[in-house]
């Protein structure tokens, strides 16, 4: 049995569109400690590619990504 990850902060970006979810994610990552998780909730279709690219480019890790209809949930671990 694995424990649920501890989420340091949650960003509710539902209803916000590009580039706002990306900007808020960038600020949210900076506000948490290394190895903590940021949860991002969004319904912006561009966010799927934008947030994966952001994590790869900045050296953070998308721990999980879930898509349910139009809603998406990212868990991003701050790595540095």
Domain segments of the chain as ranges: 7-77
**CATH class in words for 7-77:** alpha beta
- Evaluate whether 58 touches 43 at the Cβ level (below 8 Å): no
Residues of the chain with pLDDT under 50: 1
Question: Exposure pattern of 56-69 as b/e (b: 16+ CB <10 Å)?
Answer: eeeebeeeeeeeee
pLDDT reported for residue 6: 83
- Other CB atoms within 10 Å distance of the CB of residue 78: 21
Establish whether 13 is a catalytic residue.
no
- Pairwise CA distance, residues 55 & 29, whole Å: 10
pLDDT reported for residue 3: 62
- Pairwise CA distance, residues 74 & 62, whole Å: 7
Q: The tokens 């590619």 sit on which residue?
A: 49
pLDDT reported for residue 4: 67
Catalytic residue among 18, 32, 62, 63: 18
């Amino acid at each position: 049995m694995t424990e649920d990850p501890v989420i340091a902060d949650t960003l509710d970006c539902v209803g916000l569109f590009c580039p706002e979810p990306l900007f808020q994610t960038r600020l949210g990552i900076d506000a948490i400690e290394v190895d903590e998780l940021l949860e991002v909730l969004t319904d912006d279709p561009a966010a799927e590619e934008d947030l994966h690219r952001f994590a790869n480019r900045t050296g953070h890790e998308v721990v999980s990504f879930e898509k349910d209809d139009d809603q998406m949930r990212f868990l991003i671990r701050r790595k540095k």
